[in-house]
Amino acid sequence: NLSDKLQRSFKTLRGQGTITDDNIAEALREIRLALLESDVNLAVVTDLVEHIRTRALGTQVTTALSPSEQIVKIVHDELVNLLGKDTARFQKSSQPPSVILMAGLQGSGKTTTSGKLAQWLKKAGHRPMLVSVDVYRPAAREQLAIVARTISAQLYEGKLTDGEANTDSVLRLAKEAKREAASFGCDILIVDTAGRNQIDAALMDEMAALKKQLNPSEILFVADAMTGQDAVNSAKAFNDLLTITGAILTKMDGDARGGAALSIRHVTGAPIKFLGTGEKPDAFEPFHPDRIVSRIMGMGDIATLLERAEEKLDRGKAEQFAKKALSGDGFSLDDFRDQLRQIKKMGSMQSILKMLPSVGPFAGMAQAAENVDEKQFTRVESIINSMTDKERKDHEIINGNRRKRIARGSGTTVQDVNNLLRQYAQMRKMFKTIGGGGGIKAQQRMMS
C-alpha cells in the first residue's frame, strides 16, 4: 500500500545531512510511483509532487528533523492541504426540508450510507426523513425501509403500482416525500437513488431530472473506496452532470488506504465529508484530512483512536495508566486488568489495533490484529481475577505454587498463566522504553 511504499522511499533519504536537488529527486520519484500505484490520479500526483519539491527545496535544514523527517512532514502537510479542513458541514435550504440527494453507482453503499447519515443527523439534533426512489428494484426500497426501522428514522414509503418503474414515478415519489417531510416537521430529506453497474445515459437523465425537481442543497457522491480509479472516473462523470457538493467514501474498513479520497477531491473540487467504516449504522465518521493522511502514510489513525478512547474511557484512568506505564515504576497487574476492561468498552481489539501506526514501536501490530482471539481477553481477565491483591501489586512474588493455584482458580493452565506473566513483563518493558524517549516521541516530533 501507499504507506509502505512511502516509508520505503523515505528510507533512501535517511542519514543524509541536507535536502538537495539530488536527494530529493530520488525521494520524489518514489513518492510519485507510490501515489500512482495507490490509485491517486495522475493529475493529482503531478501537482502534488511539484508542491512538495518546491517546499522541500525551500526548507531550511534544521537539526531537530532529519531530511527524511522533513519530507515526511511536507508530504503530510501537502496531502492535508489538498484534502481541505472541516468538511462535514451541510448547506441548508431557506425553507425546510433541505434535500440531500445521494448519487453513485450500484453497490457503492448509497442505501447503507443514507441510513448512517440519517442516524448521524439525528444524533446532531435534526429530524431527517428517508426516501428511496430506486423504483427499479423493490428489494432496494425494502432495504432502506429495514435500515430506517433499525435506526428509528422517518421513512416515506409511498405507493408504487406494478409496471411503474420509470422516471415519472421516481419524480412523483420524490415530490411526495418532500411534501411529507415538510408536513412531518422533518428538516432534512435524504433521497436514496437507483444506481447502475456503470454510468448510463438513462440514469444520468434521471439524476438530472431529480436535481431539477428537488433543488437539493447537497448532492453527495457515494464512492466505494475499494474501487480506486473507477471511483474517481465515476465521481468525475457525476460531477460534470450534477455538480456534486461532497463525497462520502465507503468501505474504508477494507484495504483501501485513501488514494481515492485524494483523487476525488482533486478531480471534482468537492470535499470528502464522511467515511463509511463498516456495514453497521454507526460505522460512519466525519472526514478528518489529517487523520486519513496519517493513515495513508502509515502513521496510523491515532487521533481517531484517541477520540474514541475519550468517548468511551474514563479519561482520568486512561491518563493515569499512561503515566504509570511510561514511568520507571511501570504498571501493575491491577492497572493492566483495569485497562483491559476499558479496552473492552471501546469495541473489538481488532478494530483498535488496526488504527495503530504501522511503523515504530507498533510495527506489525495491525497484522497481529488479524490473529487476535477476543476470548483471550476474558481468559486473561479471569487469570488476573484469581490472583491475590498482593500478587497483582507485585508480580514478582508469583512463584510456581502460586501459578498452580491461579491456574486452578481461573480454570486455565499453568502455561496460560506463564504466558500472561511473560507478556505482561514484555509490555511493561516496551512502555518503559517508549517513556524513556524511544519511538513514540520521535514520531510525535516528526508529525508536529
d(CA 256, CA 224) in angstroms, rounded, equals 9
For residues 194 and 313, which CB has a smaller minimum distance to Mg ion in the complex?
194
Which of 74, 83, 440, 48 has its CA nearest to residue 292? 83
Residue of the chain from 110, 141, 236, 288 that contacts ligand GDP (CB under 6 A): 110
Instruction: Check binding of 295 to ligand GDP (CB under 6 A).
Output: no
| Cβ pair 190, 156 in contact under 8 A | no
251 labeled binding residue: yes
Binds 104: which of ligand GDP, Mg ion, none (CB < 5-8 Å by kind)? ligand GDP
Strands 246-250 and 188-192 come out as unpaired
CB of 108 to Mg ion, least distance (A): 9
For residues 108 and 234, which CB has a smaller minimum distance to ligand GDP in the complex?
108
278 labeled binding residue: no
Residue of the chain from 70, 277, 358, 443 that contacts ligand GDP (CB under 6 A): 277
| Cβ pair 98, 187 in contact under 8 A | yes
For residues 140 and 260, which CB has a smaller minimum distance to Mg ion in the complex?
140
Residue of the chain from 70, 111, 239, 412 that contacts ligand GDP (CB under 6 A): 111
CB of 194 to ligand GDP, least distance (A): 8
Which residues face 246 on adjacent strands?
220
The 154-156 sheet, strands edge to edge: 154-156, 128-132, 188-192, 98-103, 218-224, 246-250, 272-276, 284-286
CB of 215 to Mg ion, least distance (A): 23
Instruction: Check binding of 111 to Mg ion (CB under 5 A).
Output: yes
Which set of grid coordinates corresponds to residue 68?
527524511
| Distances 161 to 131, 135, 138, 166, 180 between C-alpha atoms, Å | 17, 10, 11, 11, 19
Positions in 190-209 near ligand GDP (CB under 6 A): 195
Binds 1: which of Mg ion, ligand GDP, none (CB < 5-8 Å by kind)? none
4 labeled binding residue: no
Which set of grid coordinates corresponds to residue 313?
474511557
Contacting positions for Mg ion (CB under 5 A):
110-111, 140
Residues that bind ligand GDP (CB under 6 A): 104, 106-112, 195, 250-251, 253, 276-279, 283
